[in-house]
Amino acid sequence: MKDKGESMIVQTKKILMGISIVGVLFMPVLAIEINSATQAVDIAGKQRMFTQRMLKDYAMIGMNNTFGKPDLDLKKIVDDFNTHLKSLLKYTKNDETKQSLKKVETLWKPLKKTLLEVPTKEKVGKLQENLELLLKAADSTTKLFAKESGKESGQIVNVSGRQRMLSQRMASLYMLRVWGVEDPQFKIKLDGAMKLFKDSLLELENAKLNTEEISALLVKVKRSFMFFEMMGKSNSKFIPTLIYKKSNDMLKNMNNVTQKYVALESK
Q: Give a yes or no: residue 150 inside a domain.
A: yes
Confidence at residue 267, expressed as pLDDT on a 0 to 100 scale: 63
pLDDT band at 15 (very low <50, low <70, confident <90, very high): very low
Confidence at residue 32, expressed as pLDDT on a 0 to 100 scale: 86
Confidence at residue 27, expressed as pLDDT on a 0 to 100 scale: 46
- The whole-angstrom separation of Cα 119 and Cα 155 is 36
Q: Give a yes or no: residue 1 inside a domain.
A: no
Confidence at residue 236, expressed as pLDDT on a 0 to 100 scale: 67
Query: What average pLDDT does this structure show over 84-104?
Result: 97
- The whole-angstrom separation of Cα 75 and Cα 112 is 10
Query: What average pLDDT does this structure show over 134-151?
Result: 93
Rounded percentage of the chain residues whose pLDDT exceeds 70: 86
Q: 207, 157 in Cβ contact below 8 A?
A: no
Residue 9 clears pLDDT 90, i.e. is over it:
no
Q: Give a yes or no: residue 75 inside a domain.
A: yes
Residue 247 clears pLDDT 50, i.e. is over it:
yes
pLDDT band at 153 (very low <50, low <70, confident <90, very high): confident
Q: Give a yes or no: residue 127 inside a domain.
A: yes
Residue 3 clears pLDDT 60, i.e. is over it:
no
Confidence at residue 73, expressed as pLDDT on a 0 to 100 scale: 97
Q: How far is CA 208 from CA 79, 153, 160, 228, 258, in A?
A: 36, 10, 14, 27, 14
Q: 175, 245 in Cβ contact below 8 A?
A: no
Confidence at residue 265, expressed as pLDDT on a 0 to 100 scale: 75
**Number of domain units in the chain:** 1
Confidence at residue 127, expressed as pLDDT on a 0 to 100 scale: 97
Residue 2 clears pLDDT 50, i.e. is over it:
no
Give this prediction's pTM. Answer: 0.86
Classify 205 as helix, strand or coil. Answer: helix
36: domain CATH number is 1.20.1630
Look at 78 and 17; give whichever has higher pLDDT. Answer: 78
Q: Give a yes or no: residue 171 inside a domain.
A: yes
Mean pLDDT score of the chain: 88
Q: Which domain holds residue 238?
A: 31-264
Q: 139, 56 in Cβ contact below 8 A?
A: no
pLDDT band at 25 (very low <50, low <70, confident <90, very high): very low
Residue 129 clears pLDDT 50, i.e. is over it:
yes
Q: Give a yes or no: residue 80 inside a domain.
A: yes
Q: Give a yes or no: residue 22 inside a domain.
A: no
> What DSSP assignment string belongs to 23-47?
HHHTSPPPPP---SHHHHHHHHHHH
pLDDT digits (tens, 9 = 90+) for 222-241: 999 998 888 777 766 668 89
Which of 117-121, 197-201, 262-266 has the least mean pLDDT? 262-266
Confidence at residue 266, expressed as pLDDT on a 0 to 100 scale: 65
Count CB-CB contacts under 10 A for residue 3.
7
Query: What average pLDDT does this structure show over 191-213?
Result: 96
Query: What average pLDDT does this structure show over 164-182?
Result: 94
Q: Give a yes or no: residue 13 inside a domain.
A: no
